[in-house]
Amino acid sequence: MSTELDFIPPAKPIIGTEEREAVDRVLASGMVAQGPEAAAFEQEFSAALVGGREVVAVNSGTSGQHLGMLALGLKPGDEVIVPSFTFAATANSVAVSGGVPVFVDVDPETFTLDPAAVEAAVTERTVGIQPVHLYGHPASMDQLVEIAQRHGLWLFEDAAQAHGATWNGAQVGTFGDAVMYSLYPTKNMTSGEGGMVGCASSETARQVRLLRNQGMEKQYANEVAGYNNRMTDIHAAIGRVQLGKLPAWTATRQANAAFFDAHLEGVVTPVVRENASHVYHQYTVRIEGATAAERDAFATALREEHKVGCGVYYPTPVHRLETFQIDLDLPVTELLAREVLSLPVHPSLSELDRERIVAAVNTVAKAGA
Ligand SMILES: *Cc1c(COP(=O)(O)O)cnc(C)c1O
């Protein structure tokens, strides 16, 4: 029985009996490492989300970005254009692959790469662009594809938060040379931990497969120095079940978002471009004009006075983290880092939860206005 005092968590993975039965089936088979479940998961994921492109399963989204970039031919010192307003993995994956992340600003409405800023950042050392479909809203893919083609750059989509989002009616992940999806527990679907790499060419896919498994396609015929970034069949079995549930979960996220759009007051609600569908990994509002301290106080009031969990993704722009410490002026990124606040939008919200979230946000916004 739920009472009004239950804390509404900001995210909540849904693991059902089907997932448990799938894991049991793999455990009972005695073959738990990468095998037939992972292969079936790749096929099903490709058909459902990546327009039939070849997909390679790996042990995390970050591994997928790392291997994908190596497969695309990234060499030490090569520059890759990335947003700074994202999770650190976007830039980390460039850095650990030997490349140099070049941070540019984002669009203030969609929070995704600003194509004009990308164009301005291209140098003779640039080899690729890594747009992030942040919170589940697609980046401006027509302009980014055009810029990439004109300069001969590869495009690697970071779709960690955007399983199934569309742009001009096509799913994200079908625009670039490669795409990565994360299967971390708080993402729109999970395998426990895991990542999927979709590839436009079968040669890129082959390279990712080689790098995933010690450089081997045939056992003990190692071709290159590779890694062990395989996905176990235990994880793949969970992912296969979750993939089947994703469409209904996405529809619920979208219905929750529509409810918030209609009822929230005193905050800036998310923009959805006319040619886009948003899958609401996060429902992120802006507390317009707030300082970081004021936004943090808003979040504290939601949590402590109203028991509404919420999150700030991301409070520090990646270029300013200790990892990179780059002195850059990215005004939209700085503004968003001060103002954004993500509300629970996950598919386990009850109707009462949604009403409590709206009442809480509207009350706190009014008190602060
Ligand atoms: C989660 C995430 C990643 C990394 O995925 P993992 O599976 O956690 O390694 C990369 N980019 C973005 C934008 C993410 O949200």
* The pLDDT of residue 236 is above 50: yes
Atom 10 (ligand 1) nearest CA: 89
Which of the listed residues 241, 272, 298 is the one where a domain comes to its end? 241
Helix (H, G, I), strand (E, B) or coil at 175: coil
Q: Are residues 193 and 83 in the same domain?
A: yes
Q: Does residue 12 have an active-site annotation? A: no
Q: Are residues 132 and 276 in the same domain?
A: no
| Ligand 1 atom 6: residue of nearest CA | 61
Q: Is residue 7 part of a domain?
A: no
Q: Residue 147: give its domain's CATH number.
A: 3.40.640.10
The pick from 69, 90, 133, 312 for probing ligand 1's pocket by mutation, whose C-beta has the most ligand atoms within 8 angstroms, reads 90
The domain tally of the chain equals 2
Q: What's the whole-number mean pLDDT along residues 64-69?
A: 98
Look at residue 2 in the predicted model and tell me its pLDDT: 47
Give the distance (Å) from ligand 1 centre to CA of residue 87. Answer: 7
Is 69 found in the same domain as 218? yes
Q: Is the pLDDT at 3 greater than 70, yes or no?
A: no
Check whether residue 51 and residue 186 sit in a common domain.
Answer: yes
Do residues 230 and 328 share a domain? Answer: no
Q: Tell me, what CATH number does 292's domain have?
A: 3.90.1150.10
User: 283-295 pLDDT, tens per residue?
Assistant: 999 999 999 999 9
- What single letter denotes the amino acid at residue 208? V
Backbone angles phi, psi at 187, to 5 degrees: -75, 180
Whether 195 is in the pocket of ligand 1, judged by its Cβ within 6 Å, is yes
Regarding the beta carbon of 157 and ligand 1, being less than 6 Å apart is answered: no
Asked if residue 104 has its Cβ within 6 Å of ligand 1, the reply is no
Q: How many CA atoms lie within 13 A of 141 on its CB side?
A: 28
Q: Which atom of ligand 1 is nearest to 62's Cα?
A: 9
Is the same domain home to 66 and 53?
yes
pLDDT value of residue 4: 55
Express each pLDDT in 175-229 by its tens digit: 999 999 999 999 999 999 999 999 999 999 999 999 999 999 888 889 999 999 9
Task: Give the pTM.
Answer: 0.97
d(CA 261, CA 284): 11
Candidates 178, 115, 174; CA nearest to 150 is 115
Q: What is the pLDDT of residue 303?
A: 97
- Pocket of ligand 1 contains residue 256 by CB under 6 Å: no
Classify residue 5: in a domain, yes or no: no
CA of 16 to the centre of ligand 1 (A): 23
Residue 60 Cβ inside 6 Å of ligand 1? The answer reads yes
Name the residue among 104, 123, 139, 131 with its Cα closest to residue 317.
104
Query: How many Cβ atoms sit within 10 Å of the Cβ of residue 273?
Result: 16
Which amino acid is present at 292? A
Q: 182: Cβ below 6 Å to ligand 1?
A: yes
What is the pLDDT at residue 1? 47
> Among residues 241, 275, 310, which one ends one of the domains?
241
Nearest-angstrom CA–CA distance, 114 and 99: 21
Residue 49 and residue 170: Cα distance in Å, rounded?
10
Q: Which pLDDT tens digit goes with each residue over 340-361?
A: 999 999 999 999 999 999 999 9
Pocket lining: 92 vs ligand 1, CB cutoff 6 Å: no
DSSP 8-state secondary structure symbol assigned to residue 230: P
61: Cβ below 6 Å to ligand 1?
yes
Sheet arrangement for strand 178-182: 54-58, 195-199, 178-182, 154-158, 126-129, 79-83, 100-104
Sign of the alpha-carbon dihedral angle for 10, 13, 14, 16: negative
Indicate whether 266 pLDDT > 70: yes
**Quick one: what percent of the chain has pLDDT higher than 90?**
97
| The pLDDT value given to residue 369 | 66
Q: How far is the CA of 61 from the centre of ligand 1 (A)?
A: 5
d(CA 141, CA 114) in angstroms, rounded, equals 11
Which of 186, 213, 241 delimits the end of a domain? 241
| Residue 1 located in a structural domain | no
What is the mean predicted confidence (pLDDT) over 270-286? Answer: 98
134 Ramachandran zone, left/alpha/beta (phi>0; psi -120 to 50): beta
pLDDT score, position 144: 98
In which element (H, E) is residue 17 found?
helix 17-29
pLDDT exceeding 70 applies to what percent of the chain?
99
| pLDDT > 80? residue 5 | no
* Residues 313, 256 share a domain: yes
Is the pLDDT confidence value at 333 over 70?
yes
**pLDDT, tens digit, 9 for 90 and up, residues 74-129:** 999 999 999 999 999 999 999 999 999 999 999 999 999 999 999 999 999 999 99
Q: Are residues 273 and 236 in the same domain?
A: no
The pLDDT assigned to 368 comes to 83
Beta strands at 195-199 and 178-182: parallel, antiparallel or unpaired: antiparallel
Average pLDDT across the chain, whole number = 97
Q: Is residue 11 part of a domain?
A: no
Per the structure, the complete domain to which residue 103 belongs is given by 17-241
- Measured at the CA of 5, the angle between CA 343 and CA 190, to 5 degrees, comes to 45
Together in a domain, 311 and 215: no
Whether residue 166 is found in the same domain as residue 73:
yes
Q: For atom 7 of ligand 1, which residue has the closest CA?
A: 61
Is residue 123 located within the same domain as residue 220?
Answer: yes
pLDDT of residue 44: 98
> Is the residue at 12 inside a domain?
no
From CA 188, how far away is CA 282, in angstroms rounded? 9
In a domain? residue 24: yes
State residue 318's pLDDT score: 98
Q: 353 and 300 share a domain? A: yes
Farthest CA pair distance, the chain: 67
Task: Say how many residues make up the chain.
Answer: 369
90 CB within 6 A, ligand 1: yes
What is the CA(29)–ligand 1 centre distance, in A?
31
Which CA distances in Å does 259 have to 134, 178, 194, 247, 269? 21, 34, 31, 19, 11
Establish if 6 belongs to a structural domain: no
Q: What is the CA(57)–ligand 1 centre distance, in A? A: 14
Check 187, 245, 307, 366 and give the catalytic one: 187
Give all strands (DSSP E) within 232-300, no chain letters: 276-277, 283-286
What is the C-alpha separation between 180 and 66, in angstroms, rounded?
A: 10
Does a structural domain hold residue 8?
no
SS3 of residue 218 by DSSP? coil
